[in-house]
Structure 1
Amino acid sequence: MSRILILDDEPHILQSLRRLLRAAPCNHGRQVFDLEVEAFNSARAALDRIEHAQFDLFLSDYRMPEMDGVSFLKAAKASQPDACRLILSGYADLNALLRAVNEVGIDRFIAKPWHDFELISAIAQSLAHRELLLENTRLANLMRLDCGDISASDLEASMLESVEPGITKVNWGADGSVVLDPDLLEPDQR
């Protein structure tokens, strides 16, 4: 199951995208992707959700009142760097496109109105590319383990972090105890 987060400030666009992604088959070659879609019309709400759930792909509008799509995708990348990032926009602004590529490393820029087949294809290609990158990383880590460059515990911690970001982070108190509430840490320990 591939999890997708869609962000657009226009409710009818969100409804159209959700309907399309539910109905159309998403495949690339022999790979078939079952999609689970979450849609948001607020960048802040979407960023809050990213803190608690892992996504495989982010699809964001470019122009929104709260935050532009590049800023949103930049924050999403910081939290979930392995996720695909696509921008959907009705404005063909070359500077915005360059900023999206240079600052965020987007996988695709899709123009509104979109062609359904092209959008689904872009999503499938991005997800397939992501799977290849993750597999390459896994194989490289196994090679590093065999060569002794990393320990088995470091590899396991890395794998856990990729599945559940922040799970391996421990907040230590000044007295050596584990602090479960980060708000209780001293300012210099945060």
Structure 2
Amino acid sequence: MAQHAILMVDDEPHVLKAFQRVLRKAPYTLMTAGGGEEGLNLLEAREVSLVISDYNMPGMNGLDFLRTVKTRYPHILTIMLTGQAEMQVAIQAINEAGVYKFIQKPWDDTDLKITIQRALEAIDLATERDRLLQKIRSRDAILKALERKHPGITRVERDAEGYLVIEE
């Protein structure tokens, strides 16, 4: 699959540096933004697979930012980073912003890597599913066109044991 780009949005520079440090050897393109507006500007300029955003940020909070991401870029998977585990925020983030997963601050480096890897695998699987569905639709259209041109050509007859019946 193509190399993924990940955008991390947090107003704390040391958190962004820690994120870059943890994933410095990962085969992803890493981008960071210091707030929601900056993050949206980066999304306009570059294709991104995964967005990780802090919840508690000045200006545009993480929930508002991820809602906007979901509206403008529904194909992007999102993860919310939070220092406080508030159930109401979690419910809103899932229902309103379609958040894939929550990560509690401070995070465990191994858990962060595994969560990102699984999120990107989910993206790859969805991409492959969409590709295969398109292929099926294309082939189905060809079969329908053949059936219109030659009625009965796509009909298959089988005997009682399930073998194909071929008529001469």
Give TM class, smaller chain.
0.7 to 0.9
Give secondary structure in 1 for the equivalent of 2:106.
coil
Cα distance in 2 between the residues matched to 1:109 and 1:124: 14
2:48 partner amino acid: F
Aligned partners of 1:54 and 1:80 also within 8 Å: no
The answer to whether the 8 A contact 2:10-2:54 is kept is yes
- What is the aligned partner in structure 1 of residue 88 from structure 2? 95
Q: Distance in 2 between matches of 1:92 and 1:42?
A: 21
* Cα distance in 2, alignment partners of residues 60 and 94 from structure 1: 17
Q: Distance in 2 between matches of 1:80 and 1:21?
A: 24
Decide which of 73, 76, 91 is 2:66's aligned counterpart.
Answer: 73
- How many residue pairs get aligned? The number is 140
Displacement of 1:148 in angstroms is: 2.1
Unpaired runs of 5+ residues, structure 1, are: 26-33, 150-190
Shift of 1:79: 2.4
**Which of 77-86 and 119-128 deviates more?**
77-86
Residues 8 and 60 in structure 1, CA contact (< 8 A), matched pair in contact too: yes
1:7 and 2:4 aligned: no
1:83 Cα deviation after fit: 1.6
Cα distance in 1 between the residues matched to 2:72 and 2:134: 21
The alignment status of 1:42 with 2:31, answered yes or no, reads no
Larger radius of gyration: 2
SS in 1 for 2:46: coil
**Conserved in 2, the CA contact under 8 Å of 1:50 and 1:79?**
no
Moved over 4 A (4+): none
Q: Give the letter aligned to residue 109 of structure 1.
A: F
1:42-71 C-alpha deviation (Å, 9 max, x unpaired): 211110111121101000001101111121
Letter matched to residue 138 of structure 1: R
Structure 2 residue aligned with 1:22: 24
Secondary structure of the residue aligned to 1:58 is strand
Task: Note if contact 2:70-2:98 (Cα within 8 Å) is conserved in structure 1.
Answer: no
Structure 1 length-normalised TM = 0.71
Seq. identity, %: 33
**Root-mean-square deviation (Å):** 1.3
